[in-house]
Amino acid sequence: MKYVFLKLSLSALIILQCACASVTTVETTDKDALISREGKNDEAKGSLGFRDGRPFYAKTNLIVEKDGCQTQRYTVYKTDEFHPEAFFITLFTTPYVGLLGVLPLLWITTYEKKYVLNYTCLKRGEK
């Protein structure tokens, strides 16, 4: 039971740091198109930034809409990029908190910092 508070604090810090690090921006090639995240309330025209604290296996579905054009869907994956912060945190905290220290490996991959959604307006009914 020694250092329980310290270990819990460090573990909380590890999870917080890893979860908070996943920030990404998506842009469309058409700046007038509206981007939104499926199942979320956020939307923006041309460019959308969002934060995702879920572990490495998460993915985000994106919807791009424009008046008079077909709605198009895109998917970005959290396995797209290596996440060095999670690697370093694991390396340096495992000796202090034991197995808890490997928790950041759940965030070992992340989104890329920026995505460009290739959007071309297809008129409704057009294939």
Partner 1 sequence: MTFHRALILLAGMTLPFLTACTTLYSTAPVAIVEPPQNASSTQAPKDNTRVNYGLLPAQNFRIADDVADRPLVVRQNPEMVTGRTWDFGIRKPFSDHLELGISGFPILSTNLSGQLIGMAKYQLLGNTYEKIQQHPFDLAIYSHVIFTEVNLSGNQRRLFGEGGYPWNAESHFQGVSAGISIGKTISRNFYIYSGVAHQQFQIDASVNQSASHDGDYPSASYQIPRSSGTSDNILFGFSFGVRHQINVTYNFSKSKWRDLTADGSGLNVNLLFYEFGKAPQTVEPNK
Residues that bind partner 1 (CB under 8 A): 26-27, 64, 72-76, 79-84, 87, 94-96, 98, 109, 112-119
Are the CB atoms for 109 and 81 separated by under 8 Å? yes
Q: Min. distance of Cβ 27 from partner 1 in angstroms?
A: 7
**Shorter beta-carbon distance to partner 1: residue 50 or 119:** 119
Query: Hey, what amino acid is at 115?
Result: Y
Smaller CB separation from partner 1, 19 or 121: 121
CB of 54 to partner 1, least distance (A): 18
DSSP conformational letter for 52: -
Q: What minimum distance in Å lies between the beta carbon of 117 and partner 1?
A: 5
SS3 content of the chain, % helix, strand, coil (to 5): 30, 30, 35
Are β-strands 47-51 and 34-37 bridged in parallel, bridged antiparallel, or unpaired?
A: unpaired
Q: Using an 8 Å Cβ cutoff, are 113 and 24 in contact?
A: yes
Q: Which is nearer to partner 1, 14 or 64 (CB)?
A: 64
- Of the candidates 111, 102, 12, the one whose C-alpha atom is nearest the C-alpha of residue 57 is 111
Report the residue number, 11 or 72, with the smaller CB distance to partner 1: 72
Closest distance between partner 1 and the C-beta of residue 114, in Å? 4
